């Protein structure tokens, strides 16, 4: 029996990897422009970190984690997301002593035991960032504008930004009581998740994937209408900052985010084309998280974007991705002697940053030409004994067949400046 990739995982093959490079590089460039620096965190962490940092009542912790005991008897979990690990690192390295805001971005794989669907995998990729230390709405607007600039630089034509506020522990406590009173007469008719959430985290009943479409959920009181004055001011200030930047948004009172540690601002970028897997990116403020993971009380905010979902959306919108031509020139050697010259020229070209190829399969001349053609190599040089004797070769541009005479001794320099 042949072995295939595990369910929920995917190979990213050379014919698509350049799309990934483009998204990852553009994201890194945009983050750098905003003053964010990259952090790399471990693929696995102590299971306790996610229990505390993601939250015991979330689907991620309750149903989706890859948890195992290692040979030393430790409970280890493959990271289901990046925020908890970044927060752990922030605390462990005393980054609270740096002058704020401490701005970090990441490019990671994440693991969740989920039912595989289009845009939903068990191993997937996230591009995300976290900013620590700033309480004001300016940073909320800043991280949203990082995404806005990223999407524009990638050439996305449309994507919908939805924002909401889920308040602070004070306003949420009063609201949760109100929600419980509202749901109490209905809770028996609701799904098992909702019945559990009714006790532990009634706010999450609002985004239930099973009961969410029922009128009883749709008509529930909305937290956005019951914010305390400080939270209301924060939300209003965020809206006016987005208006000032010209970033369009709509308010979606149903975004509560699956994760417990969020406070105040929550947001999603949603595809206007795709259905249930249409959330490309989610984020928000988590002023309680650093403390709940054992650090000093520190405000924070961040987001994570699913790279698979972003690329699906980019494809749906017909965004062109150009495959870079790393190989600029093919050098064909016509004799054993010429092949040695070709091998040395290729070595020198590569040392000088020019991508090139030579025959490694013992192919005859015609077969070498066919190979170079199939690979779409834009320039070609043929070197035989005559060329070695005269010290001159023809550099042929495949696009129009034009040829330029170049001395072999000057070929590297010529390619460096002209190809």
Q: Where do contacts with ligand ATP occur on this chain (CB under 6 A)? A: 81, 112, 114, 119-121, 124, 126, 258, 279-282, 304, 306, 308-309
Question: Smaller CB distance to ligand ATP: residue 120 or 339?
Answer: 120
Question: Smaller CB distance to ligand ATP: residue 282 or 300?
Answer: 282
| Element of type H or E holding 342 | helix 336-351
Closest contact distance (angstroms) between CB of 111 and ligand ATP is 9
Closest contact distance (angstroms) between CB of 279 and ligand ATP is 4
Name, in order, each residue with C-beta under 8 angstroms of 73's C-beta and a sequence gap of 6 or more: none
Closest contact distance (angstroms) between CB of 306 and ligand ATP is 2
Closest contact distance (angstroms) between CB of 123 and ligand ATP is 8
Question: Smaller CB distance to ligand ATP: residue 23 or 331?
Answer: 23
Closest contact distance (angstroms) between CB of 308 and ligand ATP is 5
Question: Smaller CB distance to ligand ATP: residue 58 or 358?
Answer: 58
Question: Smaller CB distance to ligand ATP: residue 301 or 354?
Answer: 301
Instruction: Point out which residues pair with 197 in neighbouring strands.
Output: none
113: three-class secondary structure by DSSP: coil
Q: Which residue is nearest to ligand ATP (CB)?
A: 306
Single out the residue of 249, 375, 324, 374 nearest to residue 18, CA to CA. 324
Question: Smaller CB distance to ligand ATP: residue 90 or 310?
Answer: 310
Closest contact distance (angstroms) between CB of 176 and ligand ATP is 20
Task: Note the helical H segments in 185-335.
Answer: 192-200, 215-218, 229-245, 289-292, 307-316
CA quadruple 171, 173, 175, 179: dihedral, nearest 10? 170
At residue 154, φ and ψ (nearest 5 deg) are -80, -10
Strand order of the sheet with strand 356-357? 356-357, 329-333, 379-383, 392-397, 403-407
Tokens 């990729």 — which residue?
A: 125
Instruction: Point out which residues pair with 365 in neighbouring strands.
Output: none
| Contact (Cβ atoms closer than 8 angstroms) between residue 310 and residue 23 | yes
210: three-class secondary structure by DSSP: coil
Closest contact distance (angstroms) between CB of 162 and ligand ATP is 12
Question: Smaller CB distance to ligand ATP: residue 46 or 114?
Answer: 114
Closest contact distance (angstroms) between CB of 83 and ligand ATP is 9
Omega before residue 101 within 30° of 0, cis: yes
Burial of 229 (0-12, 13-18, 19+ CB in 10 A): exposed
Question: Smaller CB distance to ligand ATP: residue 235 or 262?
Answer: 262
């Amino acid at each position: 029996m042949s072995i295939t990739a595990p369910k929920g995982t995917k190979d990213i093959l050379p014919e698509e990897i350049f799309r990934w490079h483009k998204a990852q590089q553009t994201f890194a460039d945009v983050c750098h422009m905003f003053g964010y620096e990259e952090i790399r965190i471990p693929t696995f962490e102590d299971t306790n970190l996610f229990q505390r940092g993601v939250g015991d009542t979330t689907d991620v912790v309750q149903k989706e984690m890859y948890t195992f005991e290692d040979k030393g008897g430790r409970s280890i979990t493959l990271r289901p997301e990046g925020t908890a690990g970044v927060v752990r690192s922030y605390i462990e390295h005393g980054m609270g002593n740096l002058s704020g805001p401490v701005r970090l971005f990441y490019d990671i794989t994440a693991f969740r035991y989920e039912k595989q669907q289009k845009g939903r995998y068990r191993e997937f990729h996230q591009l995300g960032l976290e900013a620590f230390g700033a309480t004001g709405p300016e940073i909320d607007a800043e991280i949203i504008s990082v995404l806005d600039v990223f999407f524009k630089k990638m050439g996305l034509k449309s994507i919908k930004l939805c924002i909401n506020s889920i308040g602070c522990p004070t306003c949420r406590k009063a609201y949760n009581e109100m929600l419980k009173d509202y749901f109490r007469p209905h809770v028996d008719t609701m799904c098992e998740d909702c019945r559990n959430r009714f006790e532990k985290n009634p706010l999450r009943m609002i985004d239930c994937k099973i009961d969410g479409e029922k009128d009883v959920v749709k008509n529930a009181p909305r937290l956005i209408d019951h914010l305390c004055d400080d939270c209301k001011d924060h939300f209003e200030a965020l809206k006016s900052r987005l208006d000032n930047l010209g970033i369009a948004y709509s308010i979606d009172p149903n975004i509560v985010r699956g994760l417990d540690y969020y406070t105040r601002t929550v947001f999603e970028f949603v595809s206007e084309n795709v259905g249930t897997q249409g959330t490309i990116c989610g984020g928000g403020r988590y002023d309680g998280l650093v403390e709940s993971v054992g650090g000093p009380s520190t405000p924070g905010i961040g987001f994570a974007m699913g790279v698979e979902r972003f690329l699906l959306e980019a494809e749906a919108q017909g965004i062109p991705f150009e495959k870079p031509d790393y190989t600029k020139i093919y050098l064909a050697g016509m004799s054993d002697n010429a092949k040695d010259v070709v091998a040395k020229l290729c070595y020198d070209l590569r040392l000088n940053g020019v991508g090139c190829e030579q025959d490694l399969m013992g192919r005859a001349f015609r077969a070498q030409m066919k190979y170079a053609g199939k690979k779409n190599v834009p320039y070609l040089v043929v070197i035989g004994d005559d060329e070695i004797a005269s010290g001159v070769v023809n550099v042929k541009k495949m696009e129009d067949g034009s040829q330029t005479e170049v001395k072999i001794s000057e070929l590297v320099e010529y390619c460096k400046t002209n190809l």
